Structure 1
Amino acid sequence: MKPLQDYLNAAFASPWMLAAIVVFAFFWQIWSLPLMDLDEGAFTEATREMVASGNYITPHRDGEPRYDKPILTYWVQAAATQVLGFNELALRLPSAVAASLWVLALWLFVRERLDALTANVAGMVMALSLQVSLIAKAATADSLLNLFIALAFFEVYRFYLRPDAGRRAAPVLRLWLWMGLGFLTKGPVAAFFPLVASLLFFWSEGALRHWLRAVLSPLGWLIFLLVAGPWYLAIYLDDGPGFFASFFLKHNAARYGEAIHGHGGFFGYYFVMLPLILLPFTGWFLSLLPAWRAAWADPLDRFLWIWFLIVFVFFSFSGTKLPHYLLYGCTPLFILMARHRDLLTGRWLAFIPPLLLVGALLAMTRALETMRELSSKAHEVAIYNDALALLDPTYFYALWAGGAALLGLFLWSRPPLWQRLILAGVVQGLLVFGVLAPRALAVLQAPVKEAALTARRLDLPTVVFNTSMPSFSVYRGAITPNRPPRPGELVFLRVDKLDQLARAVPDLRLDLVYRRGPVALMVVREQVRPTGGTQPGGRRGD
């Protein structure tokens, strides 16, 4: 009978195990959880309005042009809804498929450059990393963009390995194709990082002339313009310069110079976020750092480090900071961890990060109670109350079971640490998406969905008041303008806006239709006035 380690080795060497992990990490639960505001709601409402209106050029959200992102994500979401219906599965499926293709692209590149086992390991680490699995399940542009950025970088290195290749070489043409599709997904960032990082890499190799062949490829530029140009021209013809002024000046230049929508952060923000993004593989990444100088001598390792560092440094200086921005530079880290997996030798370094995550989730009750005591906002207090109610015995049993599994993997001495840490990634996925996410979204988003379905059933004119939760319009299936209500209308709002609403319509009566957690739905009516009137001095007339 074979030892257990032989079976483990065979499993980790099998692409079928990688495929199973991808299905688990990217597809499990995508149909059962309500859409998350703000980003998922904004993207999917724009997609809904696109399908409803037949305008596939200019995205709109609640009747107003949405200039935040280019068009490709809306197109692929719209295509999915035409096949599967307008639901969470269809809206999130393009992200899950894009993330799967992202893993496939990484696997093919690593197998080509290194070996099949390393390719499997890199794919598993990527799929189970916390931030990757989060964006793979989100109906936003991030999975699609990361796919195209990774594909572009892989073509850069393939071109580097062909010093005699000309401007019409296949890697050059594919590079411009991927950058064009990325430009159609999220704009300049898709071309900026591959071009700048490749410039530094080719310069480090003394091969700038070779780099210029790719950059100055007329056919490459033609492919880029044919892919990205028609829609940019079409939106200009359809909507004038509004998109260009808003997207390029506000959502790119201004976003880098200042914090947009409150998404700021200090200079060391990504030093703090990177360990969280890579969970449970934070210690594995840290094991690479002592050997980075030796790795610099290897062209592939240097290329991967430059790729990561350019993204890390660039966004460290950005005024707007969000965790998923750093993912543009995390693909090379997954490859480096897999390639140098033998450097991971410390059990404590490997397992302290995932164990700390479980500890933080176990301490959630105390944290929520503290935040409730410190908060003075009605909607936040309601969220904390509902969240505390959902931290039931099942929640804690699951966390203790997960912690015990991690502790068992920590103590299990025979398999290599990297194998045990990948299994820890499976445990983390079960806890995050099987225990935490359903409860979090039941508190934050289920009330929004229920309120929207109530409004849809009542079939009255509906508005939103000083509240930005676009998933309400998605589930209601109609545009919801943001303005003070009129008699006979429903109004949806956050509960901390109730006093503002009362002051905004003092002559109208507000009757509660639905209230749960942070949101409420009211119907607005005319005040019922006394029929007899009132005489001066307080007497009612006859």
Structure 2
Amino acid sequence: MFAVWFGALDQRPLIRPDEGRYAEIPREMVASGDWLTPRLNDLKYFEKPALQYWATAVGFKLFDEDEWTARLWPALTGFLGVLLAGYTGRRLWGRTAGHLSAAILASTLLYGVMGHVLTLDMGLTFFLQLAWTGFIFAQQPDARAGRRWMLTAWAALALAVLSKGLVALVLTGGTLVAYSLLNRDLSPWRRLSPLAGLGLFLAIAAPWFVAVSLANPEFPRFFFIHEHFERFLTTVHRRNQPDWYFLFIYAVGALPWTLLLLHGLFGAWRREGGAAFQPQRFLLLWIAVTFGFFSISSSKLPPYILPIFPALALLGGRHLAGLSRRALLLHLAALLPLALAAIWLAPQAVKWQDEDYSLAMLQGVAHWLTGAAGALLLGLVGAIALAWKKRTIAALTALATAGFISGTATLLAHGELSPYNSAKALAAQAAPRLRPDVPFYSLLHYEQTLPFYLERTLTLVQYQDEMAFGLKQEPQKWIPTLEEFKQRWRTGPHAYAVMTVDEFKKFVAEGLPMQEIARSLRYVIAENVRPAHGGDGGDCAATPAAPPCNGARIQP
């Protein structure tokens, strides 16, 4: 599993928008040497805290600036989450429950995918998991060991805040309050070690927030108000979805364990033994509070409910360790129609062909999806055969293996769409013609993956979107109108510009002097047409017959 988990990280180009954004910010940290103020495309970017940017930037310093290193942090935290789930399940409910908890988490579709996609959600999920794990273990009779675990929980909570903000405090605090009220148990509050814990929390989390606020007085209002309260209460980020949205995300994201995990929740509230603290109840409330919080939010994206999956895996491992043969066979049989339908549907992917997705791309998608469906079907058949022979653990392990392989293949299927979703090929095509000292404009759009692969930033033209805040702080770094750009393009020095294919055709039809130097399915990179030996730009000629410019490693 280790080899596949980390070996698949560089098998796909970075895709827009998140992967390009969260690779480019740490790349710019390394290039500029400024590790305090996050910048995207050389503009202040305060939507998220800096922990993952730092981790990725350190990776870029130690290794290479490539896809493998860019995705290393979510992969590492995701893998650690699997190990932690196994350890926690074993301590709470025995070796079998621990083994099954780890297997479930590693093979759950959404968790496995997000462990290989560059977003901030897996880092947040792991540190939240570590926080509530420390809290659970802090309830043990040994006061000294309990205090160590409680301080671990405080430290993990600080790292969760540095990963994605105040949501970590809301989820953990909400779960603790809900547990205390519904379970009528105030004893966990007495084990919080508030003075030492809060001191440790502030020592870890506060310095960056203080320093970045002192260096950028505009930070506190934007980060704490706009990015938290306005994001939750309004549709300002245009991510509104229906209330049932996360039910669908769970149904698909929890495969192949969707029904089994739900079954495991039914008995989770049952009191266990004579202990005052009930970890299974706490985990159930963690799931309910997290799922409910994001369901009522006005901003919804699929990874938002990722933090419920480690808790689901633990309760699932506990439940499956004692599952009857009959119940297991029924659940496995219920998955067979899904696997058979996937076998039939996978080749149909070629029918999605249009101007964006070529036949070759969709054939690649169909190939991987067919493999994913086939792996799931074979795993199911094997699991049913093992369950029939009353080899329950072996059957569940077979299902987990099939789920892990199927999820990996599904992720690779999405990678086949990279000619449309990534600018890697476009950047490689243009690189021999680009010079680092020549201005580079981005017209009406911003392709998130292009700056990372070009290793340079772009000047935005009549486009703001998520960089509106940064442009407001440094308005000299963009061109507000196309008319101003056109004037510079016609009369200024040698320059490059990236635009959509349709926009390129429109500009050429208008008579704007543009020489195409690279093209993808979506974008064209062009340079302004100038005399072969005049103006800035040296020997970079603007005619098709002229030799290309010498390539260079481009920095901001």
Q: TM-score, normalised by structure 1?
A: 0.82
Per-residue CA deviation, residues 375-407 of structure 1 (Å, 9 max, x unaligned), is xxxxxx323556335457x55763674365246
**1:268·1:316 contact (CA, 8 Å) conserved in 2?**
yes
Matches within 5 A, 1:187-206: 187-206=165-184
**1:136·1:143 contact (CA, 8 Å) conserved in 2?**
yes
In the alignment, does 2:435 pair up with 1:457?
no
Listed as ranges, the gaps of 5+ residues in structure 2 are: 462-481, 533-556
SS in 2 for 1:160: coil
CA separation of 1:496 and 1:107: change in aligned 2, threshold 3 A: farther
Report the CA distance between 1:263 and its aligned residue. Answer: 2.0
Q: 1:236 aligns with which of 213, 224, 236?
A: 213
Per-residue CA deviation, residues 204-230 of structure 1 (Å, 9 max, x unaligned), is 33322x343355711111111110111
Per-residue CA deviation, residues 39-58 of structure 1 (Å, 9 max, x unaligned), is 11111111111111110000
**1:507·1:526 contact (CA, 8 Å) conserved in 2?**
no
CA separation of 1:398 and 1:391: change in aligned 2, threshold 3 A: same
Q: 2:159 aligns with which of 181, 186, 197?
A: 181
Separation (CA, whole Å) in 1 of partners of 2:144 and 2:170: 22
Matches within 5 A, 1:31-46: 31-46=10-25
Matched residue count: 487
Q: 1:408 aligns with which of 345, 367, 381?
A: 381
User: In structure 2, what is the equivalent of residue 212 of structure 1?
Assistant: 189
User: In structure 1, what is the equivalent of residue 328 of structure 2?
Assistant: 344
User: In structure 2, what is the equivalent of residue 334 of structure 1?
Assistant: 313
In the alignment, does 2:259 pair up with 1:283?
yes
Q: 1:489 aligns with which of 484, 487, 495?
A: 495
Q: What amino acid sits opposite 2:228 in the alignment?
A: N
Per-residue CA deviation, residues 425-482 of structure 1 (Å, 9 max, x unaligned), is 1341352144x1331334422xx11222334322243221122322100010011121
In the alignment, does 2:348 pair up with 1:363?
yes
Bigger mean CA deviation after superposition, 337-346 or 318-327: 337-346
CA separation of 1:165 and 1:201: change in aligned 2, threshold 3 A: farther
Matches within 5 A, 1:155-174: 155-162=134-141, 165=143, 169-174=147-152
**2:138·2:146 contact (CA, 8 Å) conserved in 1?**
no
CA separation of 1:521 and 1:27: change in aligned 2, threshold 3 A: same
CA separation of 1:211 and 1:262: change in aligned 2, threshold 3 A: same
SS in 1 for 2:528: strand
Separation (CA, whole Å) in 1 of partners of 2:340 and 2:238: 31
**1:282·1:350 contact (CA, 8 Å) conserved in 2?**
no
**1:107·1:119 contact (CA, 8 Å) conserved in 2?**
yes
User: In structure 1, what is the equivalent of residue 522 of structure 2?
Assistant: 518
Q: 1:145 aligns with which of 124, 136, 142?
A: 124
Q: What amino acid sits opposite 1:224 in the alignment?
A: F
**1:168·1:219 contact (CA, 8 Å) conserved in 2?**
no
User: In structure 2, what is the equivalent of residue 429 of structure 1?
Assistant: 407
Q: 1:78 aligns with which of 57, 67, 91?
A: 57
Q: Percent identity?
A: 21
Separation (CA, whole Å) in 2 of partners of 1:273 and 1:489: 45
User: In structure 2, what is the equivalent of residue 65 of structure 1?
Assistant: 44
Q: What amino acid sits opposite 1:278 in the alignment?
A: A
**1:354·1:428 contact (CA, 8 Å) conserved in 2?**
no
Separation (CA, whole Å) in 2 of partners of 1:500 and 1:215: 64
* CA RMSD, Structure 1 to Structure 2 (Å): 2.8
Per-residue CA deviation, residues 474-533 of structure 1 (Å, 9 max, x unaligned), is 010011121155243221123344466569xx45222322222222222233699xxxxx
Separation (CA, whole Å) in 2 of partners of 1:527 and 1:253: 54
Report the CA distance between 1:313 and its aligned residue. Answer: 0.8
User: In structure 2, what is the equivalent of residue 383 of structure 1?
Assistant: 357
**1:67·1:246 contact (CA, 8 Å) conserved in 2?**
yes
**1:465·1:482 contact (CA, 8 Å) conserved in 2?**
yes
Q: 2:74 aligns with which of 70, 82, 95?
A: 95
CA separation of 1:32 and 1:387: change in aligned 2, threshold 3 A: closer
User: In structure 2, what is the equivalent of residue 480 of structure 1?
Assistant: 458
SS in 2 for 1:482: strand
Q: What amino acid sits opposite 1:106 in the alignment?
A: A
Per-residue CA deviation, residues 286-330 of structure 1 (Å, 9 max, x unaligned), is 333554564799923211111101011111101111111111112
Separation (CA, whole Å) in 2 of partners of 1:205 and 1:49: 49
Q: TM-score, normalised by structure 2?
A: 0.80
CA separation of 1:141 and 1:500: change in aligned 2, threshold 3 A: farther
SS in 1 for 2:138: helix
Separation (CA, whole Å) in 1 of partners of 2:190 and 2:369: 59
Separation (CA, whole Å) in 2 of partners of 1:401 and 1:348: 16
Separation (CA, whole Å) in 1 of partners of 2:262 and 2:329: 11
CA separation of 1:400 and 1:340: change in aligned 2, threshold 3 A: closer
Separation (CA, whole Å) in 1 of partners of 2:144 and 2:202: 20
Separation (CA, whole Å) in 1 of partners of 2:89 and 2:380: 31
SS in 2 for 1:523: strand
User: In structure 1, what is the equivalent of residue 104 of structure 2?
Assistant: 125
Q: What amino acid sits opposite 1:382 in the alignment?
A: D
CA separation of 1:527 and 1:388: change in aligned 2, threshold 3 A: farther
Q: What amino acid sits opposite 2:328 in the alignment?
A: L
Bigger mean CA deviation after superposition, 285-294 or 413-422: 285-294
Report the CA distance between 1:66 and its aligned residue. Answer: 0.9
User: In structure 1, what is the equivalent of residue 541 of structure 2?
Assistant: none
Listed as ranges, the gaps of 5+ residues in structure 1 are: 1-20, 373-380, 529-542
Per-residue CA deviation, residues 142-186 of structure 1 (Å, 9 max, x unaligned), is 221111100111122123344x85999222222211111111111
Separation (CA, whole Å) in 1 of partners of 2:189 and 2:266: 34
Report the CA distance between 1:125 and its aligned residue. Answer: 1.2
